[in-house]
Chains A and B, each alone.
Chain A
């Protein structure tokens, strides 16, 4: 961290540590490292915060897995922290655990690590800008995460515990405080936290769009943008259009809970053996509003990773991206279609089945752009000169795992099959393959890849590969098995499913998955050690350790304030690797054209 803002231009390898400088007043420290408006510092603030929450979310997941594998048995660690009677986990504590696991992972990890950490760090660097268009907004987008951190974190300690109605927060379970212990103060804090996450995302999204549209370096046309930037751009668009709906819905739910409106409460229900007051609402309305945001949000959670993987993969395949334009169009297609498929979360919700049929068709169609992207990645690998760096391994595994996550989606898109597998572990397998085996693997790839740019040092490759290998094995052990559990109909969110005869025999399989999950979390210690050790003691990286093409690699590592020592001028797209007739195997975007060289025109 200390090295980020103090490298003078041109000095990429010798960076004076902050401690060597003369003592500076506190206010300067605060404005440099805490309330910084520099996009790189904000990006790293996001990165560190989200990695901490990643750990918390992972531990919550372990507690969930513990209960699923060995229900009602003594819980290690948490059993002592939240002592319940007889050491066993109470069922409402379990519902709280999986709710908060999802909430933390989605709202405090995946979305902010992609858009907040990498979006912030990479956008100005990759388009050749000296900073974001609105640095203050950018700073605020980070600091608006803190009320959310605090609200979600504090909700564990209020009466009744944290929100416990699932991250989807379906009413009337959530609108009536009597319906569930977590629907008391915990749910209110959850809604408040959600609103702040929304504000943060919105500030970021406005900033990214403006920056990408207005602040590109000379020569950087839209179709010379790296895929990462395209993905970030479309993600920002998605957020800008989908978020207001969620925010509005969140407020409606808050009003239902606090001032007695009845948007989501039907007439005359009886909750916890008492008649409810307000009526005239519809629980399905929430589902429509929620998924109108949250389905696009699923793409918000993967598109940036897809973009980053494309950049990493071309670099280590030493080959231009196969089908650049189709890749861009398919991202746009996913984003466009993403707005008209939300109903596939509601096939059996009581929504008109005819509407379900419509959503089924649009959902089937969204498989197309995903297929196009996969084939193009394969095309990129074909004929390359593949270097097996850690970042590359994570990227290849992203593709390999995304295939699984994508294909399992087709089962759910098929409405009759969805009748059976809806709300089973098949779904759990599906979205963990997309979000963990996909996005999280992409994020690790990106961390290994851009680490030199962030800290001026490279991460240890050997330990990186050990980390990759173990994570890859354990993640498949954990999540692949879920598919066949889903085929039995094993429902999600049950604290103890083994008293059903149908699922009685699945306990050993769940125990196996829990062992794998424990392994998966444990082997992140390798990553943490590697990360922090390399930050201070890793070998120094030059400006362009991977011989990559993007603009960010022309800046010093780490880049100083203002990013570039020389104004970059862009002559070509970012994927000109192995150009025939060129001496090097990569041709950077800023390398002036040489006469007689054949370069694709875009």
Chain B
């Protein structure tokens, strides 16, 4: 373009001496044109840098990692997992590299016309390229998008502490999460959803491996000189496998669900109601006597709790007197606080409390099938204050509660003094 423009100008210049009635030098015009053209060229064709994974700065600052330690973690992670544009699936992870390639990278069509870069097309503006739940749109959403890095997932068919199965994540992508900003991706088709789930697992494993490494510095011996051993054995055995194995185990750890007891539905609902208000299940504590979710409301979910607790800690460190400290200690303290503040401002979202579910809206994030309710009551909700009832309630009792909860949106509104506008009949 820069070569072309002056040529064009000169050509026009020459031409114009014949055609133009007002003959005058065109050099100023040519000058301005060339300058404008070059500016456009220079600014227009500069490439933006390739996408990269962001380090977990909150954890790094919290663990007081040194810059070279951060660097080491990043290097190892890149060796194990690759980059957003070029993922690596080590055999230990059990991940399918073909699926990952479909989901990773910038949005583009490959030679056979298949769309690649699915994650960046559909997911990254909320969940972030790193899967840290900090995409550009994240801060404006309620609830915040999921951060995959700690490896906690809420809605699944496995026990509370377990990973979800592949099928659980597929269900989430297919149905979306009603009541959040997560839409349904069913129409993408099975293959794409499958690839995206694989990629989510990949990001989660990567994030958890990163956390493991950052926390491992704490356990190092003096002879390690503050560096993680870079042997394959160590990295696979200590860092990767503890994460990957749990993902693989989850597939066979689905909760056994006994059949629903064969009692009359109305009877079951009545029993469920008793449990709901009783001390044994004590659902009212959070979901409220009206079941509008207006019980205890000052809790945080685990993702927010991590940030909240640490930011409180940092806040109180700010108030610690530095008088007693030596000069070096003082400098270190200041540096820690500066890093912590930076991490909290730039790499974490403002913590928000979690609201217990309003059970009268017929909006259920984790699915509306009876079985979904069963899983949630049985195992609780990982990462949320909802506890597992498995120890306290018998399977039959869980089913009664399920039936009662499913009937709540249709219960006569006046009975509990519920706000009419919150009831399903009017509002869905």
Q: Which residues of A contact B (CB under 8 A)?
A: 71-77, 79-80, 83-88, 90-93, 160, 178, 180-181, 267-268, 270, 272-275, 458, 460-463, 466, 496, 499, 522, 525-526, 528-530, 532-533, 537, 539
Contacts and interface: CB of A to CB of B under 8 A. Distances in A.
A9 to B, nearest CB: 27
Contacts of A496: 121
B107 A73 contact: yes
Contacts of B28: 529, 533, 537
Contacts of B181: 272-273
A470 B43 CA distance: 23
Contacts of B139: 181
Contacts of B19: 462
A83 B48 contact: yes
Contact of A525 (B33, B46, B426, B427): B33
Interface stretch (B129-137, B231-239, B315-323, B367-375): B129-137
A93 B136 contact: yes
B51 A529 contact: no
15 contacts: A72-B117, A73-B106, A74-B48, A85-B124, A87-B49, A87-B51, A88-B106, A178-B142, A270-B427, A272-B142, A274-B142, A460-B20, A499-B121, A529-B33, A533-B28
Contacts of A499: 121, 188
A75 B22 contact: no
Contacts of B46: 76-77, 80
Contact of A460 (B29, B32, B107, B143): B29
Nearest to A70: B107
Interface string B87-114: 0000000000000000000111000000
Contacts of A463: 16, 26, 29
Contacts of B20: 460-462
A91 B137 contact: yes
Contacts of B129: 85-86
Nearest to B19: A462
A181 B136 CA distance: 10
A580 to B, nearest CB: 29
B137 A86 contact: no
B421 to A, nearest CB: 4
Nearest to B28: A533
Contacts of B43: 76-77, 80
Given A76-B44, A178-B142, A525-B36, A86 B24 contact: no
B422 to A, nearest CB: 7
Interface in B7-56: 12, 16, 19-22, 24, 26, 28-29, 32-33, 36-37, 40, 43-51
A85 B125 CA distance: 8
Given A85-B135, A466-B12, A528-B32, A267 B120 contact: no
Contacts of A522: 37, 40
Contacts of A460: 20, 22, 24, 29
A537 B44 contact: no
Contacts of A79: 48
B180 interface: yes
Contacts of A267: 421
Contact of A72 (B37, B44, B106): B106
B33 A72 contact: no
B301 to A, nearest CB: 14
B132 to A, nearest CB: 10
Contact of B136 (A77, A85, A533, A537): A85
B141 interface: yes
A268 B128 contact: no
Interface string B390-428: 000000000000000000000000000000011000110
A158 to B, nearest CB: 13
B295 interface: no
Given A77-B46, A529-B29, A529-B36, 14 more contacts: A71-B121, A74-B47, A76-B45, A77-B44, A86-B50, A86-B106, A90-B125, A92-B137, A268-B421, A268-B427, A272-B140, A460-B24, A499-B121, A528-B36
Nearest to B421: A268
A405 B265 CA distance: 65
Given A72-B121, A86-B51, A90-B125, A533 B32 contact: yes
Interface of B: 12, 16, 19-22, 24, 26, 28-29, 32-33, 36-37, 40, 43-51, 84, 106-108, 117, 120-121, 124-125, 128-129, 135-137, 139-143, 179-181, 188, 421-422, 426-427
B47 A86 contact: no
In the A-B complex, the 5 residue pairs with the smallest Cβ-Cβ separation, listed nearest first, are: A87-B48, A86-B51, A268-B421, A529-B32, A90-B136
A445 B418 CA distance: 66
B112 to A, nearest CB: 16
Given A77-B44, A529-B36, A72 B137 contact: no
Nearest to A458: B22
A92 B29 CA distance: 39
Contact of A181 (B140, B142, B143, B426): B140
A84 B136 CA distance: 7
A201 B33 CA distance: 35
Nearest to B84: A86
Contact of A92 (B117, B128, B136): B136
Contacts of A71: 107, 121
Contact of A537 (B24, B36, B143, B188): B24
A525 B137 CA distance: 36
A172 to B, nearest CB: 15
A503 to B, nearest CB: 14
A458 B143 CA distance: 62
Contacts of B48: 74-75, 79-80, 83, 87
A451 B172 CA distance: 64
A83 to B, nearest CB: 7
A533 B117 contact: no
Nearest to B426: A268
B249 to A, nearest CB: 33
Given A92-B137, A272-B181, A462-B20, A86 B124 contact: yes
A391 to B, nearest CB: 15
A530 B37 CA distance: 15
Contacts of A88: 106-107, 120
A369 to B, nearest CB: 39
Contacts of A275: 421-422
B303 to A, nearest CB: 16
A349 to B, nearest CB: 22
User: Most chain-B CB neighbours within 10 Å: which of A84, A160, A273, A275?
Assistant: A273
Given A91-B137, A178-B142, A526 B33 contact: yes
Contacts of A181: 137, 139-140
A87 B52 CA distance: 10
B178 to A, nearest CB: 9
Contacts of A529: 28-29, 32-33, 36
A529 B36 CA distance: 9
Contacts of A84: 125, 136
A160 B140 contact: yes
Contacts of B135: 85, 90
A539 B107 CA distance: 53
Contacts of A272: 140-142, 181
A401 B107 CA distance: 38
Contacts of B117: 72
B209 to A, nearest CB: 21
A381 B135 CA distance: 59
